[in-house]
Amino acid sequence: MDTRLPEPDDAAKADSLALSRRLADEIEACGGWMSFARYMELALHCPGLGYYGGGSRKFGASTEGGDFVTAPEITPLFGQALARQVGPIMAAAAAPMVLEVGAGSGRLAADLLTALRASGATPAQYLILELSGELRARQRDTLAEAVPELLDRVVWLDHLPERFSGCVLGNELLDAMPVHAVAWRDDGLKERGVTLDKGQFAWSERPAADFLVDAAAEIPAQAPYASELGLVAAGWAAAWGERLAKGALLLIDYGLPRHEYYHPSRNGGTLRCHYRHRSHDDPFWWPGLSDITAHVDFTAIAEAGHGAGLDVLGYTSQANFLINCGLGDLVAARHEASEASGLRASSATQMLISPNEMGELFKVIALGRGVATPLIGFARGDRLHTL
């Protein structure tokens, strides 16, 4: 297998150099050192230049210039299965509202709206909060093509609502939130940041500030050990304690409970970069051209939600969740429709539920308030006890 990264074209390199100058200026203005969390924030979201803030293709096949595919890009069955949980959450909240945060190409929104309408549970409004201007435009195009008659129900927000009732969705959202890079050393906890070494970005450690030491207090890592702290994702989950009046958040992502996340064997952390379907570990390679991600510490998300007054309604693997939501029936219906569509559905389903693909690595967590009925997605195989 060829593991070399494809050479970016000249236009992409020029954008990356402009972002690099922006990063270098800020590093110099801060005295020569920048937190990795800030580097990741700019590399992903710097307006016009960051990975999501700029114009790169992101989703889809590498032949189309894409860097990765997500579950809704693989098959509409993902949104159809999810709809079977979203509908009951809206009903339990007595609020026919969906808020999708980080809606990517708009594929999931289109599939969900189609499935919810077919089941008689069309949301009164489908809100989308998306930081990327380029993706907002793509979302509008996707929805205008797939569900033109429902487009007037879709509203793009600039920030999270003060109060919300209904169902909040985030698929592969939390892994895109900036992480603090930290290292346990013999002389204490360090924060791994970014400096300039002969004009190139390079890792550099300094003693960790108190808020990082506090956040790492429960982590049983032994020096030498490097990993990440997902404080931004946990803070985002905690913020829903004030905002969620009634309903639930469904957050789907790759990640682990804390005891597995910080397992001694995972001593280099979980930071990964994605470029043209190659995964690499150098966040300083052409900044802004690769997606930068880290696994989600689901224990931290559950603690943040619980600490903010939300109920932790369920936690399980993506495979269990989708099967509980009736993915098998959806595939069977495709087989009845035609052999070809059945075969396509079976092969896509394998990617979603196989333990070697997304089935085990991806998890689903639900945080909620005022939802009395159990969620069907966690009916079998709930793993709350592992958090």
Ligand X SMILES: C[S@@+](CC[C@H](N)C(=O)[O-])C[C@H]1O[C@@H](n2cnc3c(N)ncnc32)[C@H](O)[C@@H]1O
Position 262 contacts ligand X (CB under 6 A) = no
Beta bridge partners of 35: 193
Supply the minimum distance, in Å, between the C-beta of residue 202 and ligand X: 26
Alpha carbon 8 to its chain centroid, in Å, reads 25
For residue 263, give Cα distances in angstroms to 141, 221, 256, 279, 336.
43, 8, 10, 22, 45
Q: Closest CB to ligand X belongs to which residue?
A: 102
Q: Dmax of the chain from CA atoms?
A: 65
Contact 174, 186 (CB under 8 A): no
Supply the minimum distance, in Å, between the C-beta of residue 103 and ligand X: 6
Cα separation of 42 and 40, whole Å?
A: 5
Supply the minimum distance, in Å, between the C-beta of residue 175 and ligand X: 7
When the beta carbons of 172 and 382 are compared against ligand X, the nearer one is 172
Q: Is 176 helix (H, G, I), strand (E, B) or coil?
A: helix
Q: Is 197 helix (H, G, I), strand (E, B) or coil?
A: strand
Q: For the CA atoms of the chain, what is the radius of gyration?
A: 21
When the beta carbons of 53 and 225 are compared against ligand X, the nearer one is 53
Cis peptide upstream of residue 207 (ω within 30 degrees of 0): no
Contacts of 9 (CB under 8 A, 6+ apart): none
The mark string for 121-150 relative to ligand X (x by CB under 6 A, - otherwise) is --------xxxx--x---------------
Q: Which of 16, 35, 70, 204 binds ligand X (CB under 6 A)?
A: 70
When the beta carbons of 56 and 171 are compared against ligand X, the nearer one is 171
Total of residues contacting ligand X (CB under 6 A)? 19
The mark string for 171-200 relative to ligand X (x by CB under 6 A, - otherwise) is xxx--xx-----------------------
Q: Which stretch binds ligand X (CB under 6 A): 23-31, 95-103, 211-219, 239-247?
A: 95-103
Q: Which stretch binds ligand X (CB under 6 A): 26-34, 98-106, 280-288, 373-381?
A: 98-106
Q: Which of 8, 50, 66, 72 binds ligand X (CB under 6 A)?
A: 72
Cα separation of 201 and 198, whole Å?
A: 8
Closest CA to 87 of 383, 380, 379, 371: 371
The mark string for 283-322 relative to ligand X (x by CB under 6 A, - otherwise) is ----------------------------------------
Contact 219, 258 (CB under 8 A): yes
Residues lying near ligand X in the complex (CB under 6 A): 52, 70, 72-73, 101-104, 108, 129-132, 135, 171-173, 176-177
